[in-house]
């Protein structure tokens, strides 16, 4: 057994290194005929976390919760925070405000029922909270979310919000935003602590980016998906990824080892995101229509 999670998280937070483990629980199979692997892989990840006394935040897709209710109960029973990753795994750019409101309300209630706890956090698929989908902020506040981790502050080949603060901030309706930690690559900012970047970038590059961004990120978190831990998944062609498709499989074998280095056998892991909001409370207010943040920034 490692260090008790609270003690470890608090100690790590005190010296500003605590990285919270987060995972997006989604079914990324191209169609329903492919082998169902994520429930088994997810339980392997949960065992790994248990062995290190790490509690994190799991953002669950509503359709996944409907298909695998026992898995969601298991995650909650093991002490992790359950949060929402949209009802369906599509970017916000493909949803209307009315559909988003209906689906999000329904998904939040379902997750609260399964986890017997309030669901406070929301993450947009592929960080698709961008200026054109800013309507989602009001919906998330209305539906009762406390925080979001849906913004990539800067230019990115996929989705990004140039001009948004890279440190935690508040939207005008009070919703706290915990932006994905990013580091610069040319004119782009990439989320080096998650997904393909975390798997593919050499460990010294990740460590270097972490050092550079430390002053910028008061609530750092890593993000993963079940498939990131699944080297044996049969390969398929990812739509729109073309020749980059193999990148989705690269580095999967090494991910547990990389996380072990980042989280230090659990003693450098922070608590679930919902328990770290006080660190973001004094953040600036950023208005979607304004280009810059105002208010009481924390340096
Ligand atoms: Zn996702």
Taking alpha carbons only, the member of 217, 213, 275, 248 closest to residue 79 is 275
152 Cα: distance to centroid of ligand 1 (angstroms): 14
186 Cα: distance to centroid of ligand 1 (angstroms): 25
Place of tokens 């970017």: 91
151 Cα: distance to centroid of ligand 1 (angstroms): 13
223 Cα: distance to centroid of ligand 1 (angstroms): 10
Q: List beta partners, residue 68.
A: none
171 Cα: distance to centroid of ligand 1 (angstroms): 22
65 Cα: distance to centroid of ligand 1 (angstroms): 14
Q: Is 174 exposed, middle or buried (0-12, 13-18, 19+ CB in 10 A)?
A: exposed
292 Cα: distance to centroid of ligand 1 (angstroms): 27
85 Cα: distance to centroid of ligand 1 (angstroms): 7
140 Cα: distance to centroid of ligand 1 (angstroms): 17
59 Cα: distance to centroid of ligand 1 (angstroms): 8
Distance CA 143, CA 173 (A): 12
290 Cα: distance to centroid of ligand 1 (angstroms): 28
Q: In the chain, how long is the greatest CA-to-CA distance?
A: 52
58 Cα: distance to centroid of ligand 1 (angstroms): 11
239 Cα: distance to centroid of ligand 1 (angstroms): 15
What pTM was estimated for this model as a whole?
Answer: 0.90
Neighbouring residues of 269: CB distance < 8 A, sequence distance ≥ 6: 5, 8, 9, 12, 18, 19, 20, 21, 52, 54, 56, 263
The DSSP bridge pattern shows strands 188-190 and 183-185 to be antiparallel
How high is the pLDDT of residue 225? 96
Count CB-CB contacts under 10 A for residue 78.
14
HEC assignment per residue over the chain: CCCCHHHHHHHHHHCCCCEEEEEEECCCCCCCCCCCCHHHHHHHHHHHHHHCCCCCEEEECHHHHHHCHHHHHHHHHCCCEEEECCCCCCCHHHCCHHHHHHHHHHHHHHHHHHHCCCCCEECCHHHCCCHHHCHHHHHHHHHCCCEECCCCCCCCCCCCCCCCCCCCEECCCCCEECCCCCEEECCEEECCCEHHHHHHCCHHHHHHHHHHHCCCCCCCEEEECHHHHCCCCCCCCCCCCHHHHHHHCCCCCCHHHHHHHHHHHHCCEECCHHHCHHHCCCCCEECCCCCCEECCCCC
pLDDT beneath 70, residues of the chain: 1-17, 212-217, 241, 279-282, 290-299
11 Cα: distance to centroid of ligand 1 (angstroms): 30
Domain boundaries, the chain: 5-281
61 Cα: distance to centroid of ligand 1 (angstroms): 8
The answer to whether the beta carbons of residues 206 and 258 sit under 8 Å apart is yes
224 Cα: distance to centroid of ligand 1 (angstroms): 9
How high is the pLDDT of residue 258? 92
The answer to whether the beta carbons of residues 9 and 271 sit under 8 Å apart is yes
CATH for the 5-281 domain, from 3.30.420.40, 3.20.20.370, 3.50.50.60, 3.30.420.10: 3.20.20.370
């Amino acid at each position: 057994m490692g260090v008790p999670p609270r003690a470890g998280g608090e100690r790590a937070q005190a010296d500003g290194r605590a990285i919270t483990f987060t995972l997006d629980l989604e079914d990324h199979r191209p169609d329903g005929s492919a082998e169902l692997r994520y429930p088994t892989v997810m339980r392997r990840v949960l065992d790994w976390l248990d062995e290190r006394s790490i509690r994190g935040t799991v953002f669950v897709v509503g359709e996944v919760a409907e298909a695998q209710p026992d898995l969601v109960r298991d995650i909650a029973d093991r002490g992790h925070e359950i949060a929402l990753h949209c009802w369906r795994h599509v970017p916000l750019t493909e949803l209307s405000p009315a559909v988003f409101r209906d689906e999000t309300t329904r998904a939040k209630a379902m997750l609260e029922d399964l986890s017997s706890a309030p669901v406070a956090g929301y993450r947009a698929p592929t960080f698709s909270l961008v200026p054109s989908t800013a309507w989602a902020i009001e919906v998330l506040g209305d539906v009762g979310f406390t925080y979001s981790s849906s913004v990539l502050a800067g230019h990115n080949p996929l989705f990004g919000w140039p001009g948004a603060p890279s440190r935690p901030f508040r939207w005008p309706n009070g919703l706290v935003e915990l932006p994905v930690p990013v580091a610069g690559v040319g004119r782009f900012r990439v989320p080096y602590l998650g997904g393909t970047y975390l798997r593919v970038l050499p460990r010294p590059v990740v460590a270097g980016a972490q050092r550079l961004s430390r002053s910028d990120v008061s609530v750092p978190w890593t993000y993963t998906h079940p498939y990131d831990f699944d080297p044996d998944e049969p390969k398929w062609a990812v739509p729109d990824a073309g020749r980059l498709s193999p990148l989705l499989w690269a580095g999967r074998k090494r991910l547990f080892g990389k996380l072990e280095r980042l989280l230090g056998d659990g003693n450098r892991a922070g608590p679930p995101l919902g328990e770290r909001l006080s660190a973001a409370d004094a953040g600036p207010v950023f208005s979607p229509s304004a280009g810059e943040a105002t208010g009481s920034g924390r340096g």
